[in-house]
Amino acid sequence: MRKAAALALSGILAAAPALAEDNWKPVEEIKFYAIAGKTGPELYESIGERGPKIGGGKTRVIAHTSYVLTWDRQFDRSNNACTILSATPKLKITYTLPKPAQKLTSPVKEHWETFYEGIRRHELVHGDHAKDMTREIVRRTVGLSVPDDPKCQKIRKVLIKEITDMVDMQRAQGRAFDRVEMGNGGNVHQLILALVNGG
């Protein structure tokens, strides 16, 4: 139980549709990892043994959200400057979630379904953070212009800084969200207690 209680939930909002002004759509997928057990405590212990690893493989978590973000940009190199005309993101979000390897019976089945749905919704918030970050990168970078940069080399340094700043903000947002959810009385904390104590 000590091992299970030390579990953290990581991320990287119910899934929101793309905003009207977006000319892109994220690709989202769920990957499951199998857990064993017939009771709430057994299932949670199995999560502690089999959950995805983060932090260089040092910590196992209940679930995890990761993303890959690449870009298709168009540049204008006229007037000896480099200007970003458009930036179309390709965002792929992967949610890794636990799934019992065998069928559960009542009341554990119902307790598990409540737990799983709460964890799934938590991870969707992390997914929305990634979508919001991507929109903000588009907003900040389209129209960006650097003079005396006909080969568009200087602008790449500016782009790297903008994107790094936004990624850092997104990660801080995710950590703050997890602290609230995992804290004493938080939503995920309550889900864990209900699963372990309910069956």
Share of residues in the chain with pLDDT > 90 (%): 84
Residue pair 71/101 in contact by the 8 Å Cβ criterion: no
Q: Mean per-residue pLDDT for 101-120?
A: 96
Residue 121 has pLDDT above 60, yes or no: yes
HEC letters along 67-94: EEEEEEEEEECHHHCEEEEEEEEEEEEE
Reported as a single tens digit per residue, the pLDDT across 23-49 is: 899 999 999 999 999 999 999 999 999
In the prediction, which pLDDT does 58 show?
83
User: Hunting for tokens 């005396």 — which residue is that?
Assistant: 148
Residue pair 110/104 in contact by the 8 Å Cβ criterion: no
Reported as a pLDDT band with limits 50, 70 and 90, residue 1 is: very low
Q: Exposure pattern of 78-116 as b/e (b: 16+ CB <10 Å)?
A: eeebbbbeebebebebbbbbbebeeebeeebeebbeebb
**The residue type at 172:** A
In the prediction, which pLDDT does 178 show?
94
Secondary structure letter of residue 151 according to DSSP: T
The top-scoring range by mean pLDDT among 9-13, 51-55, 158-162 is 158-162
User: Hunting for tokens 């990287």 — which residue is that?
Assistant: 12
Reported as a pLDDT band with limits 50, 70 and 90, residue 5 is: very low
Residue 56 has pLDDT above 70, yes or no: yes
The angle subtended at Cα 124 by Cα 133 and Cα 169, nearest 5°, is 30
Average pLDDT, the chain: 89
Reported as a pLDDT band with limits 50, 70 and 90, residue 54 is: confident
How many angstroms separate the CA atoms of 153 and 125, rounded?
36
Query: Which phi and psi angles does 57 have, rounded to 5°?
Result: 80, 15
SS3 label, residue 96? strand
Residue pair 7/191 in contact by the 8 Å Cβ criterion: no
Q: Mean per-residue pLDDT for 144-163?
A: 95
How many angstroms separate the CA atoms of 29 and 93, rounded?
6
Reported as a pLDDT band with limits 50, 70 and 90, residue 150 is: very high
